[in-house]
């Protein structure tokens, strides 16, 4: 294909062969067009060319907003990032639609959370992995830093790693290394932007620490609808109680509600929190139950757990989301 395209080019403009100086100029003019033709012709054969946006950026598809945010921060102007799960979407229950599969198909690289966070996407991600890099951002996290879900030797871990900001730096590094490897022409830029982002995450970690330190030790209890905050609790010294299990796919029953209600009454806990990606009714049931037992519990606010806020808002970024949570928890419990 290369040879024939070049031959066509030469034969169509024979006048340039006669005059060396003019021919050199013509090369400068024709080379980009020739490259474009080769690029278009090579689309189906070349993975990267297929995964490029119209303006020449690397197409990246990410499952959750948190993963997409890391790709956007580190990839900057060289990447076009598409997120499958928008605000309020629960990743544990998410199923890829035909439109989502197209977004995965178009990508040069796919990033996902892993550790069974996207439990219903395992097969489609495996299928995509035969065609292109499909990278779990948690793949390099030291296993001894992960929280086991206590189901014997099944090797399962709590996937909500993004709430331990220091641990999440490992995800950012994995994104950075993948971009540098898959797009070496822009590696230096990914190195720079990755370094900047990692510094911002270090700063964020200290911010959350400082906000949690405002809460008296005995009041550091975070009650939410599902167990999304285990890493948060461990990293920042907060006891975490969830109504549901690690995945929202497990239903909670009346007994869970009464157990949690009694716990709130006994501990004298004043506030519980709702989550943006889950219906608020379970926590409302707990508040009503506690009131019946003469204990007043407030809804302390809405936390972002498995999905970020609206794009274009502070909470629509990973850093903004974590800050929002830390601020909401500190204001309600201190
Ligand atoms: Zn979750």
| CA 266 to centroid of ligand 1, rounded, Å | 27
How close is the Cα of 115 to the center of ligand 1, in Å?
A: 11
Q: What separation in Å is there between the alpha carbon of 255 and the centre of ligand 1?
A: 21
Angle at CA 305, nearest 5°, toward 170 and 277? 135
pLDDT value of position 200:
98
Domain 58-209 has CATH 3.40.50.1980: yes
Residue 33 is predicted with a pLDDT of 62
Strand partners, 82: 61
Pick the CATH number of 216-333 from 3.30.2290.10, 3.40.50.1980, 3.30.1600.10, 3.30.1330.60: 3.40.50.1980
In this model, does residue 237 exceed pLDDT 90?
yes
Distant-in-sequence, close-in-space partners of 220: CB < 8 Å, separation ≥ 6: 212, 237, 238, 239, 333
How much is the pLDDT for 232? 97
d(CA 249, ligand 1 centre) in Å = 9
Domain boundaries, the chain: 2-41, 58-209, 216-333
Identify the H or E element spanning 318.
helix 318-333
39, two tokens: 């690029």
Query: Same CATH topology for 58-209 and 216-333?
Result: yes
Q: Above 50 in pLDDT, residue 4? A: no
Distance 57 CA to ligand 1 centre (A): 32
Q: What share of the chain is helix, strand, coil (3-state, %, to 5)?
A: 55, 15, 35
Model confidence pLDDT, tens digit, residues 264-287: 899 889 899 999 888 888 889 889
pLDDT of residue 279: 81
pLDDT (0 to 100) of residue 10 = 39
Within 8 A by CB and 6+ apart from 19, the residues are none
CA–CA dist 170, 164 (Å, integer): 11
**CA 67 to centroid of ligand 1, rounded, Å:** 14
- Nearest 5°: the CA angle 265, 270, 271 is 115
Residues 39-45, mean pLDDT to the nearest whole number? 49
pLDDT surpasses 80 at 25: no
What number is the average pLDDT over the span 200-220? Answer: 96
Select the highest-mean-pLDDT range: 34-38, 69-73, 223-227. 69-73
* Greater pLDDT, 8 or 314: 314
């Amino acid at each position: 294909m290369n040879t024939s395209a070049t031959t066509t080019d030469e034969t169509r403009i024979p006048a340039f062969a006669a005059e060396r100086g003019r021919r050199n100029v013509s090369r400068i003019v024709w080379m980009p067009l020739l490259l474009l033709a080769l690029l278009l012709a090579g689309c189906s054969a070349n993975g990267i060319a297929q995964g490029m946006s119209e303006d020449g950026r690397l197409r990246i598809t990410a499952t959750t907003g948190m993963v997409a945010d890391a790709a956007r921060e580190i990839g900057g102007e060289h990447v076009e990032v598409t997120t499958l799960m928008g605000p309020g979407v629960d990743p544990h229950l998410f199923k890829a639609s035909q439109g989502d599969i197209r977004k995965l198909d178009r990508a040069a690289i796919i990033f996902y959370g892993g550790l069974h966070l996207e439990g219903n996407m395992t097969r489609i991600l495996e299928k995509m992995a035969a065609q292109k890099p499909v990278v779990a951002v948690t793949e390099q996290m030291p296993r001894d830093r992960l929280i086991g879900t206590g189901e014997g030797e099944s090797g399962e871990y709590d996937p909500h790693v993004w709430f331990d900001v220091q641990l999440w730096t490992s995800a950012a590094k994995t994104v950075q290394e993948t971009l540098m490897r898959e797009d070496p022409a822009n590696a230096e830029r990914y190195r720079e932007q990755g370094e900047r982002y990692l510094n911002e995450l270090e700063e964020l970690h200290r911010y959350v620490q400082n906000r949690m330190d405002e809460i008296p030790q005995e009041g550091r209890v975070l009650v939410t609808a599902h167990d999304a905050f285990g890493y948060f609790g461990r990293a920042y010294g907060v006891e975490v109680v969830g109504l549901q299990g690690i995945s929202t796919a497990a239903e909670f029953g009346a007994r869970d509600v009464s157990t949690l209600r009694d716990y709130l009454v006994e501990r004298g806990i004043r506030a519980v929190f709702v989550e943006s990606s889950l219906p608020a009714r379970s926590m409302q049931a707990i508040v009503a139950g506690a009131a019946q037992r003469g204990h007043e519990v407030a809804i302390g606010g809405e936390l972002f757990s498995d999905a970020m806020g609206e794009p274009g808002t502070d909470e629509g970024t990973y850093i903004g989301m974590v800050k929002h949570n830390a601020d909401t928890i500190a204001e309600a419990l201190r």
